[in-house]
Each structure stands twice: as C-alpha cells, then as structure tokens.
Amino acid sequence: MVRRVIPLVAQTAPLPVPMHAVGEAPGPLHDQLQRPLRDLRISVTDRCNFRCSYCMPKEVFNKDYPYLPHSALLSFEEIARLARLFVAQGVRKIRLTGGEPLLRKNIEVLVAQLAALRTPDGAPLDLTLTTNGSLLARKAASLKAAGLNRVTVSLDGLDDTVFRRMNDVDFPVADVLHGIDAAQRAGLGPIKVNMVVKRGTNEQEIVPMARHFRGTGVVLRFIEYMDVGATNGWRMDEVLPSAEVVQRLSAELPLVALDPSAPGETAERWGYADGSGEIGVISSVTQAFCHDCNRARLSTEGQVYLCLFASRGHDLRGLLRGGASDADITQAIAGIWQQRSDRYSQLRGAGMLAPREKRIEMSYIGG
C-alpha cells in the first residue's frame, strides 16, 4: 500500500505582504466587511501527541511526516514582538494553540512575555490556551504562575473506549479529567471544554458529557465536525447539526437561550433552566458566523492566516528576520487585515464557493 504524505505547508507561495500606510499612531483595524481585529490565535508547534481523525489522522501524520525543523519556528521573542504589534492595532485576546501547545518546551516563558503586554489604554490581555489536556496536570500551576488566564480543553467523550478510539493513541480519558481538575485548582478559569461531535462516532456522549460538567463551573461546548484541511476525510453526512445537539440536551436537561458573551463570539450560549451552568454550540457548518469573525491566526512559522479554511498565508517571519522595523511590520499587519474579505463558511452554506487551492491543515494554525 502506498503511504500518503501530505506536506504541512501548501506548495503554493505565500501571499505578498501588503504595505499600507496606517498613520503615525496605530489603532483598531477593520477589514473589507468592517470586521475589527480583536482576537489573535498563535500556533506554537505543528506537533501533537494525539492522532484525532478529524485533525491529524495517523495514516497521514505518521513517523515519516515532514514536521517543521526547530529553526523554522518563530522564537518566543519573535512571537512576543509580533503580538505586541497586533495588540497596538486592536487585538485584545490571544489564544495559544498548536498542534498541542504544551509540547513546546518552556511554554511558560512565552506565557510570561505575553502576559506582560498591555493594550494602548493599559488593560491586560485575555490570555488563554487550548490543549488536549494530556500534559495539563503537570503544567497547570506553572502556566497560572506565568500569567495565563484560562484554558480550553479538547475532550470528545467520557467513555474511555470511545475517547481512546478518537485520539487514536490509546490515551485514557481519566488523565484528561485529572488535568481539568488541576487547572481548576490552579485558577485557570472559567475552563471551557470543547467536544467535536461526529455523527456515528461519539454522538452518544453528548448527554453524559453535559451531565458530568453541569454544576462544576466548566463550560461545555459542542462543535460541529468541520471540513478543515485536506486530510480528515470530511463528509457532510457525519456532521451532527448543533440544532440537533440542543434538541437532544433539552429533552434531558431543559435549556434557556443566553445572550452572546462578546462581539464575534463563535459559540451560541445556552443555560440550564435550573441555573446550574451553561453549554455552547459552535455551528461553523450549518450556521456560519463569518459576518462578525474578528480572528487572525499566526502559524508556527510566522505566516498570518485570515480564515480557518484559508489556502495561503502572509509571511511575517521574513520581515522579522529580514531586519524590518516595528513600523514596517505594523504597516504590513494593517495592510493584511484591511484587505481581508474571507467568508468561507458563509459562501459554502450559500453554495457559492469557487474552486480553490488545498486548504491549510487545522493542526498547523490551530482551531
């Protein structure tokens, strides 16, 4: 059998970095659809110790997969410099992601550097991290001490057999739950738990997950199985619409609709009628939220992507390592965002997608 090897980075060249004048004082940016830049997601590694089929399937991401050499990765100092310039232009929230970000050696050092940043009006950032939870028990206290505010943990079921099958490395669910407990004790909250729901695979875990986390202060969010990248074999018939998730939950645990927590929030919020907590649903397939998406993504090797479903990014590492000034990089960031018009999910839902290049993998730019 021929082994499939799909390159991590699209073979097409990066998009040119536009250099727009932004005036003497950088400030909030808006794209072509008048969406502000508020959220920066930073991938710190392209590696992960899980092989979830919807993200890094084992048959593709095997021992022969061409991961990035360490020299290609942005250093912590480079990441912090770019983050500072993004914050000057409107970013208020930074999420560290991967791959699995806790695999990046000394990640606490980067957390401390980012925690020291302040917005132009002197406010601290909302600094968070998404993890599969496998290393969280040993890292939670040091992450909090370094300045991390909270964590989001990916967990696709409570049944150990189902969970081991989905992570495809035989990792026990008990260890992830232990990590969540450690994060709560460390004060990394409110904790969010993300469950990707794949029809025919783990839908039976919806109600047990809700019952487990109800009343704990943990916010459970159900995510529709998405058509990210080119390796996960996505099919529409494996998508369980969020509306059906809410329907199933309401039959067991009555829910009431809640207002969005912030502009551009991806999750639709629902509270338990008895006041014992809340859940969220992220409907990126059946109910696109492109109209108020305020997120940019910085890849492990310094490319900016403007959509989770993008094909190519804009190279900022070249500017960093080519001696560009802060003013030059600020202009580049402004030009990139101001030219943005991405709305993949909205166009897909309307049947208006034109043929396009192969999309970047989610494991490369984070979810």
Does 95 belong to an annotated binding site? yes
Q: With cut-offs at 50, 70 and 90, classify the pLDDT of residue 355.
A: low
Measure the CA–CA gap between 121 and 303, rounded to whole angstroms. Answer: 28
Does 250 belong to an annotated binding site? no
- Output the 3-class SS for 288-308: CCHHHCCEEEECCCCEEECCC
- Quick one: CA torsion of 118, 120, 122, 126, rounded to 10 degrees? -50
More confidently predicted of 200 and 275: 275
Distances (CA, A) of 351 to 17, 284, 287, 345: 30, 15, 13, 10
Q: Does residue 31 lie in a domain region?
A: no
* Residue 122: CATH number of its domain: 3.20.20.70
Measure the CA–CA gap between 38 and 151, rounded to whole angstroms. Answer: 18
Q: Does residue 48 lie in a domain region?
A: yes
3-state SS, residue 97? strand
Q: Does residue 94 lie in a domain region?
A: yes
Range of the domain at 218: 39-365
Does 296 belong to an annotated binding site? yes
Measure the CA–CA gap between 177 and 186, rounded to whole angstroms. Answer: 14
Does 231 belong to an annotated binding site? no
Q: Residues 80-120: pLDDT tens digits?
A: 999 999 999 999 999 999 999 999 999 999 999 999 999 99
Indicate the length of the chain as a whole number: 367
Q: Residues 25-41: pLDDT tens digits?
A: 456 899 999 999 999 99
Distances (CA, A) of 125 to 92, 137, 150, 184: 5, 24, 12, 20
Does 345 belong to an annotated binding site? no
Q: Does residue 27 lie in a domain region?
A: no
Does 367 belong to an annotated binding site? no
Q: How many domains does the chain have?
A: 1
Does 154 belong to an annotated binding site? yes
* Angle in degrees, 0-180, between the axes of helices 76-87 and 326-338, rounded to the nearest 10: 60
Q: Does residue 28 lie in a domain region?
A: no
More confidently predicted of 263 and 214: 214
